């Protein structure tokens, strides 16, 4: 495995959990799959479509998202929104993310270079 592959796998590992957090934050404002994909990409979360679409379904099944079909436009689309349960989980996740960042900062500052 080349150095690039190693870097890519580690970045992937690091990013994996943050997609859920980013989606729960972004979907406080209801949106459909492709639009969410674009929004996340615009904010630096480059998610693969074949990862995001199944993920949205899974989060919905876990009750973290609610969904509604919008049939007003020519193409019917499924709009997702972060549910109350999703909001509670998001709070925990954000706290944890902040805690990780704090610990890491402390570790970096405390460690001799």
List of residues contacting another protein (CB under 8 A): 32-35, 38, 48-51, 53-54, 57-58, 75-78
Cα 1 → chain centroid: 28
Written as six digits, the tokens of 64 are: 């973290």
C-beta of 73 vs 109, nearer to another protein: 73
The CB-of-38 to another protein minimum distance in angstroms stands at: 7
The CB-of-105 to another protein minimum distance in angstroms stands at: 34
C-beta of 49 vs 100, nearer to another protein: 49
């Amino acid at each position: 495995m080349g150095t690039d592959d190693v870097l890519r796998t580690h970045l992937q590992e690091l990013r994996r959990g943050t997609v859920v957090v980013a989606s729960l934050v972004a979907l406080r404002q209801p949106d459909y799959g492709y639009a969410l994909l674009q929004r996340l990409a615009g904010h630096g979360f480059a998610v693969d479509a074949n990862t995001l679409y199944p993920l949205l379904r899974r989060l919905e099944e876990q009750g973290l998202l609610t969904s509604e079909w919008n049939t007003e436009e020519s193409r019917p689309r499924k709009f997702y929104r972060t549910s109350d349960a999703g909001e509670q989980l998001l709070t925990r996740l954000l706290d944890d993310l902040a805690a990780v960042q704090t610990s890491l900062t402390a570790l970096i500052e405390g460690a001799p270079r």
